[in-house]
Structure 1
């Protein structure tokens, strides 16, 4: 092995920078042919969370999903709708069209916008879904809207 072959735990920092550059280690690229597999894995993970009781689809009021392109919207929506047949587009929120893909901040920007525009009521439950194609990972959060404190503390 010449030190330039991919090895788990090794990076471009393990070889001289000129060798790393010559080997193309600084070229950023993504194998987009596996993005469908990422979506399938994320939907499978969602199914598992439902099956073990960490996501209660019977009390799911809203879904906020970050996706980098609308090409994934229908795939994600159809996959979630298989498990939540009552899920309709009124309960689905994304701001991709208005804010664009804002990377790791996307889900937080979408959550804040949905809150600020009055989509939520106390007691509503929200599923955040974040596929991250750069790292080929998927994350979920299941939130419940609570009332602000009544003791005069800032909300």
Structure 2
């Protein structure tokens, strides 16, 4: 089996950072009223700036595939050309369309010759699954290099016009035209951007980082859907997909908006996250002492202290000096978050040979968790 190294890292964040005060101006006001939920959510998540692929006129500047292509082009310099890519593996929660696949559209923008592509579906773990596919392909000797990405362009899913049809419908029924909190919650949480890694079977570059192992765990067998888009959650906990609704109600129910069952999230995301972390650490016989940098993908700083408490409660306390986070400045970029976190850590100049890094990536869609353990070479 070959060794696998991350030899280059890159990110692309569109346009200028958007402050909390600018968010509603960018995404639009629903029903002419400033959101009360916005203040509640922002107070808890403590995100100060994020990025949107929207210009000052509210027009889209980049789609998801274009964001991803720009991140990849950041890898294709200083001795590595896009024509050398052997495998392209791209994960996202927010593809630009149902078909063709996200990786196929990215490849179309790259125009770099005939290569293998892979598009894992899902939410935040889709980026980690894209990374794992590249990791396994190099590990098994299928290819010598792979470009793996995680990206999101959720701003267009959160713009006010996505919800106006529903609001108008509620007004027509003489009902209170206020969005349910589970729909509005994610409007104030998510950010646009893309991150990319170049994986190779040799430790090239200034700061090569070996991927020692990757693990994944799902709890869908015991927990119902928590975050979803393209469907509606029924009272019995099952998800009814958009394809089973008449087309004329898609807009009336905002079926294609991202939604979050906030109660289910708070009850399970940390407990299952630490449970799966313990499984991964036990399987590979490591302890907290074998980790120099802990990179947990959290959607909100609300979870930071609670995650620490849950780690401690389950016997895997992670000292604060090991944590590396950037949520405050870039926002929650879903599948792209872990890529952008490592890019910032690499470029911080803090890493030294022998440092060990642990990725901890949760996905609330139906509670999945992905892990990677890395060593700086």
TM-score range, shorter chain: 0.7 to 0.9
Instruction: Determine whether 1:60 maps to 2:291.
Output: yes
Moved more, 104-113 or 72-81: 72-81
TM-score by length of structure 1 reads 0.75
Q: What's 2:305 paired with? A: 74
Q: What's 2:246 paired with? A: 16
Aligned mates of 1:103, 1:5 — CA distance in 2: 21
Q: Deviations over 1:120-155 (max 9, x none)?
A: 111111111112234532221111112xxxxxxxxx
Instruction: Determine whether 1:140 maps to 2:371.
Output: yes
**1:75-94 paired onto structure 2 within 5 Å:** 75-81=306-312, 83-85=315-317, 87-94=318-325
Which consecutive residues of structure 1, in runs of 5 or more, have no partner in the other structure?
147-155
Aligned mates of 1:15, 1:98 — CA distance in 2: 39
Q: RMSD over aligned Cα, in angstroms?
A: 2.8
Q: Deviations over 1:68-100 (max 9, x none)?
A: 110111122233345444x32221000011222
Aligned mates of 2:244, 2:286 — CA distance in 1: 42
Q: What's 1:149 paired with? A: none
Q: What's 2:331 paired with? A: 100
- Once the 2 structures are TM-superposed, how far is the Cα of residue 28 of structure 1 from its aligned partner? 4.0
Q: What's 2:117 paired with? A: none
Q: What's 2:162 paired with? A: none
Conservation of the 8 A alpha-carbon contact between 1:68 and 1:101: yes
Sort the Cα spacing of 1:56 and 1:5 in 2 relative to 1 into closer, same or farther, 3 A: closer
Q: What's 1:153 paired with? A: none
Instruction: Determine whether 1:111 maps to 2:335.
Output: no
Task: Work out which of the residue numbers 51, 55, 58 in structure 1 matches 2:282.
Answer: 51
Sort the Cα spacing of 1:10 and 1:69 in 2 relative to 1 into closer, same or farther, 3 A: closer
Sort the Cα spacing of 1:117 and 1:40 in 2 relative to 1 into closer, same or farther, 3 A: same
Conservation of the 8 A alpha-carbon contact between 2:280 and 2:371: no
Aligned mates of 2:354, 2:337 — CA distance in 1: 24
Higher strand share: 2
Q: What's 2:260 paired with? A: 30
Higher helix share: 1
Sort the Cα spacing of 1:5 and 1:141 in 2 relative to 1 into closer, same or farther, 3 A: closer
Sort the Cα spacing of 1:18 and 1:34 in 2 relative to 1 into closer, same or farther, 3 A: same
Conservation of the 8 A alpha-carbon contact between 1:55 and 1:142: no
Which consecutive residues of structure 2, in runs of 5 or more, have no partner in the other structure?
1-231
Report the 3-state secondary structure (helix = DSSP H, G, I; strand = E; otherwise coil) of the residue aligned with 1:93.
coil
Conservation of the 8 A alpha-carbon contact between 1:38 and 1:137: no
